[in-house]
Amino acid sequence: MRRTSRAPSLLARALTILALGLLPAAAQQAEQEPAQEPMPRFRAGTNLVRLDAYVTADGQPVADLTVEDFEVFEDDQPQKVEGFELVRVREGHGVTTAAPDPSSTRDEIEAAQDPDARLFVIFLDHWHVGLDGSARASAAVSGFLDKVVGPRDLVGVMTPDITPQNMTLTRRGDGIDRILRDAWTWGQRDRLSTRDPREQDIRACYPDSGSTAGLAQEMIERRREQKTLRALDGMVRHLDGLRDERKFVVLLSEGWILFRRNDQLARPLGGSTPGGAPPVGVGIDGRVTTQPDPREGGYGAGRLDSCERERVMLGYIDHELEVRQLAQRANRANVSFYPLDPRGLVVFDAAIGGAFRPSSPEVDRQRLANRQNGLRELAEQTGGAWVLNTNDTGGALARMLADTSAYYLLSYYSTNTKLDGRFRRITVKVTRPDVEVRARPGYLAPTEAEARAAGAAIGGPGAPGARPAPPPAVSRALDAIVPGRGNLPVRIQAAGLADRVRAVVELDAATLKRPEWQAGGTLQVFIESDRGGAPIVLDATMGAGQRSVVVEGPDGGLAPGRYSVRVEGRAADGRDSIRAATHAVVAPEGQNISGASVAFRRGPATGLAYHPTADPRFRRTERLRVEVPVLAAGALTTSGRVLTREGAPLPLPVATSERIDEQTGARYVVADVTLAPLAQGDFVLEVTAGKESATYGFRIVP
């Protein structure tokens, strides 16, 4: 291993993100004022309901209410407000205490869980925004970033073509306004030639004449709408896993038709062959022919079969139902939609000279109404607001999101403890006269299966069957599992020894299968004290086919304290780079064991060997081993046990022993457990040495 003195700058990463056109947006400073009653930070409880209430008078937020001023009803039944908090956003741009920009996926997750920071997503629905609309939207979004988002808030930019896992969350950066102005051509709705080659296939399969007239146009519109709604649904699910607090989605879209089942579209074509007259070409024997070249895809039988399957599938969609389901999931995930039609004041739905044939005036009016009604419904059902039919998009957007500058966080335990999956209507009232209150209209209660799958506790404090709050050590171990959600390109787990850090770096299975990583790569692990100073860099190599590696150092020793541990990796061919980060604590003298550990797994994929792992997800066919660093000399009495997420011990044997590393002389308590008896869910492995304990959270997955 090599040790150097300085870490490379993160500026190159930021410039790369901007150049890729992800439009990383800005951020904002959220300052939380002292509340009359501290709001409990619950993470469990199937009947716990969190609610954001926006109270205004003459368009200005009202920020001097108390918990006694609020009345909350669920299905007309009064509810007791258990948690109450006023969140006020710091105004002005003179804030100089901006948090650092996240440098890895894990940093983004940790930053998103900061309750003092708001999370915004700007969704650019390029399939349903024309070129003129995208040009207008650039100024509106730029003004929104300037006026609403501050230094501590996180902003992500997403399109229907960006998966939620690849969405970058960033804080405000210099030059973002210029980037937004330069990237104003993202609208695709009215373009004759789009970035989706499949649309050309559909047009070739179904010429706009004869029995196939109009088929391609409707298929393309339905397909675009389906892609957008699926992307929004995936985004809501992703945001649900990032944080419990409110998430704001600024949806720039001209709306959707909300297609329903159309048997006419899915009808048999009466024996006619789609695709029109076969083209004349030269066959493989050099002769003129109308038969497709078998060496090319062409628009032969295989391509036509694909078009036919998609035509039938698109004929049976129901996007009205999907939007209602999307609103329900967003309500459950505490996601609010703020739709904005960037066209401004709209008279006709279809642009003259656009990609599709204009409809009759009556049909055009109906299509326009459907588009705007869908956006309104999504906003109303998620507690958001909309900007439609106005040319003052910048001012309307600022007014639309002004309520985020001061709002109330309420929480209550519902008196209806049934896990029936039904919609619960919520009404929020304020005793003060002449004020307007806006809150989400309700939520969809979970079913018993959903509650148990999520590992949630049943009931609130004091409720029948309620579970006690877990010990703090168990809560911290469970919180550490959160970054394990989803497929991260690389993970890192670290533990502090007496004078160094031991880290495990692990590639995701999907990353390992990429061609760029099949030959291995190089890693740099940066260890930097929270007190500042130059980071220490440890070099390591990931061999071909190798998934994980243990990195330990530095040789010179570290002083007690908390350290940031960050890894940057590059594939052997230099075409791909990955990053992740975590923390480790080098404990002071007098402590017997470290509070953290390094995990290993053994299973069908590893054979008899234990492989180091940074992924907290395990299967029941595997064994889990953790190694806890011993910091003090002398014999220790060790034991281990597996705990539920509530901290209750399970009758599962845990074998403990001690190991001394032959190369470094480091001493470890080793705990080994077979996972076969466990069901799916979250658990904690607790290792005790003397009077001290270390915990490791893990998740059993299918």
The whole-number pLDDT of residue 464 equals 45
Angle, nearest 10°, between helix axes 301-315 and 197-205?
100
pTM here is 0.54
Confidence of residue 612 (pLDDT cuts 50, 70, 90): very high
- The neighbouring-strand residues paired with 670 are 627, 657
The whole-number pLDDT of residue 45 equals 46
Half-sphere exposure for 695 (CA within 13 Å, toward CB): 23
Q: Which helix (H) or strand (E) holds 396?
A: helix 393-400
Burial class of residue 679 in the structure, from the number of CB atoms within 10 Å of its CB (0-12 exposed, 13-18 middle, 19+ buried): exposed
Q: What's the CATH number where 518 sits? A: 2.60.40.1220
pLDDT over 80 (residue 699): yes
Tell me, yes or no, whether 73 lies in a domain: no
169-170 and 154-158 as β-strands: parallel, antiparallel, unpaired? antiparallel
Tell me, yes or no, whether 612 lies in a domain: yes
pLDDT over 80 (residue 686): yes
Tell me, yes or no, whether 480 lies in a domain: yes
| Tokens 């009808």, residue located | 267
Give the length of the chain: 702
What does the pLDDT average to over 99-104? 72
Number of compact structural domains in the chain: 1
Domain range enclosing 632: 475-700
pLDDT over 70 (residue 460): no
Tell me, yes or no, whether 672 lies in a domain: yes
Question: What pLDDT, in 10s, does the model give residues 580-610?
Answer: 888 888 887 777 788 788 999 998 888 888 9
Tell me, yes or no, whether 17 lies in a domain: no
Tell me, yes or no, whether 289 lies in a domain: no
Question: What pLDDT, in 10s, does the model give residues 416-438?
Answer: 888 787 878 899 999 999 898 88
Tell me, yes or no, whether 137 lies in a domain: no
| Tokens 């291993």, residue located | 1
Q: Which residue has the higher pLDDT, 391 or 160?
A: 160
The angle subtended at Cα 171 by Cα 85 and Cα 530, nearest 5°, is 85
Question: What pLDDT, in 10s, does the model give residues 115-125?
Answer: 667 888 989 99
What does the pLDDT average to over 318-332? 86
The whole-number pLDDT of residue 304 equals 80
Tell me, yes or no, whether 140 lies in a domain: no
Q: Is residue 491 a contact partner of residue 506, using CB atoms and an 8 Å limit?
A: yes
Q: Which residue has the higher pLDDT, 28 or 257?
A: 257
Question: What pLDDT, in 10s, does the model give residues 540-595?
Answer: 998 888 889 999 888 878 888 888 888 888 888 877 778 888 888 888 777 778 87
pLDDT over 70 (residue 682): yes
The letter for the amino acid at 646 is: E
